[in-house]
Amino acid sequence: MVIVNEQDMMRDEPAPHGNHGMSTAYRISDAAPNRTMEFRKRTLHVGAAIGLHVLNHDEVYYVVEGEGEVASDGVTKRIGAGSAAYLYNGANVGIKQLGAKPLTLIVAYPLPASEIRTAPDGR
């Protein structure tokens, strides 16, 4: 078992897949050695977006707070707190923040065996 405090894994960085604005990334699962999935929290600052990118796995965006618009293969839908978008392998996806408040979401997806990492201390 690994217990992770999100504050220990927090960093501000450009939003992924195109650097559309700034975000706060909580790379929670980075602390778990030999994991087979990714589990991250990301806050898209006002005006930010995770740019369109093609998935090589299924992925879930779960909105914790705020509002946004999620896109998948040319279809866009609004999404808000308490909603999840299940996105499929091969889809061209992205999400953008809407409104006056930041958009905070959980992003979860499986890792291929070639990307399984071990912790710096070898665990």
Q: Would 42 be classed as within a structural domain?
A: yes
Q: 97 near 24, Cβ under 8 Å?
A: no
Q: What is the DSSP letter of 56?
A: S
pLDDT digits (tens, 9 = 90+) for 24-35: 999 999 999 889
pTM score, whole prediction: 0.88
Q: How far apart are CA 75 and CA 60, in angstroms?
A: 16
Closest listed residue to residue 23, CA positions, set 77, 93, 103: 103
pLDDT band at 123 (very low <50, low <70, confident <90, very high): very low
Domain count, the chain: 1
Range of the domain at 41: 11-112
Q: 83 near 98, Cβ under 8 Å?
A: no
CATH of the domain at 23: 2.60.120.10
Residue 34 pLDDT: 85
Q: Would 6 be classed as within a structural domain?
A: no
pLDDT digits (tens, 9 = 90+) for 43-94: 999 999 999 999 999 999 999 999 999 999 999 999 999 999 999 999 999 9
Q: Would 107 be classed as within a structural domain?
A: yes
